[in-house]
Structure 1
């Protein structure tokens, strides 16, 4: 077979593959559940969450003071973890342990100090994430025009990717300093309907929040003084 015929055969095969893939994608899209149904089921599933671990991190330079946060959350509102916050242009890492109305916190140097929960909330209150009156449940319940886009894996778990307009008022409880609504994307666990990830584009960059270890027992204890 001549080189010209080999090239033509290769092009035909490639075009056939593209056509087949395009047809499959269309069928898959039609088979996806509706976005409204998914966010409603996810809100119901999140209402029953007893605990979770979370990570919040930024890409680029979005206009929020907390640049990264990681931690564990209990259903009772206790939490522990670390916060990286921009204070007057200087990035500071703070360890926190939130028990009841008391927050134990520690910077890079020195020991733990105490502030009240309300004082922490002015900076960042991670316990609001699982609070059904403030956090994820409200975020899902107020999502506007949700559209299911695809099935993707998040850390090896099959999830529906849903695009939606998300409320600034609700998001601000989880991403302090956020001053705008967001056209974001949510990844909802296909098996459990729990929220696995939120991608929140905004001016200058984005904030990505991920969740894992739902209902794994969390025991938060005060640090030694």
Structure 2
């Protein structure tokens, strides 16, 4: 269990939930950008999948900030996060700062925590006490947040490499008109963003109807961890893309 230094005069009670697991999941999740199980409207002419994916990938290469809301159904290797939400932004030097909250399974309990990631430091606040400070390298050595906005490994890469892509219909997501696109992602394409992936994953992306085809939602289904267990799913929503995000170190 990771214990981190105290911040200024604020004391810290008890162990800090796994920093790398929390931020690693948050980062993934901002990268990928909550799918739903309702049937989309397949009436009318649908755009070609390859065309709107190409546009969405180009748009994603220009992303520098956004808000995210993540939920994980099932266990992921080395990740104890059940849900996370917050915002992140890429600085002029290319590094990514993030802030938000996460619900983490720890010792059989569901704990809610706050986090602020500002390279070279990460700040964690558990259910009691104040923020504790630790080197950001504790996170980036395990998972580098900049991968989310990386042209070759991040969101744009996933959209560019969706195999057997097909448009499945239209849906309204958080008051945004979207087109849902489904397909498969090879494990080597997903691995930089989802640590521990051992096989290809089924994926769905909800892309806005606008000219830019902004990614609004994403859904990923991983095979069962063992025979007889259920499939594992990750649902991610993105909003307020490229709107200003300010991340400050807690006092």
Deviates more, 1:182-191 or 1:126-135: 126-135
1:201 counterpart = 2:221: yes
Structure having the higher Rg: 1
The answer as to 2:206 corresponding to 1:187 is yes
Is the 1:196–1:212 Cα contact (8 Å) retained in structure 2? Answer: yes
Q: What's the CA shift for 1:172?
A: 4.3
Tell me if structure 1 keeps the 8 A contact 2:42–2:170. no
CA distance in 2, matches of 1:180, 1:91: 28
Distance in structure 2 (CA, Å) of the matches to 1:172 and 1:82: 24
- RMSD across aligned positions (CA): 2.4
Q: Please, which of 163, 167, 171 is the counterpart of residue 148 of structure 1? A: 167
Matched positions, count = 197
- Name the residue aligned to 1:218: 245
Provide the C-alpha distance between the structure 1 equivalents of 2:137 and 2:155, rounded to a whole number of angstroms. Answer: 20
Higher relative contact order (CA 8 A, sep 6+): 2
Q: Is the 8 A contact 1:65 1:176 kept in 2?
A: no
Structure 2: gaps spanning 5 or more residues:
1-40, 225-229
Aligned to 2:57: 43
**Corresponding residue for residue 150 of structure 2:** 131
TM-score in terms of structure 1 length: 0.77
Matched residues in 2 for 1:169 and 1:113: separation? 35
Segments of 5+ residues of structure 1 without an aligned counterpart are: 1-23
Larger mean CA deviation between 119-128 and 156-165 belongs to 119-128
Equivalents in 2 of 1:125, 1:85: separation in Å? 20
User: Quick check: 119-128 or 33-42, which moved more?
Assistant: 119-128
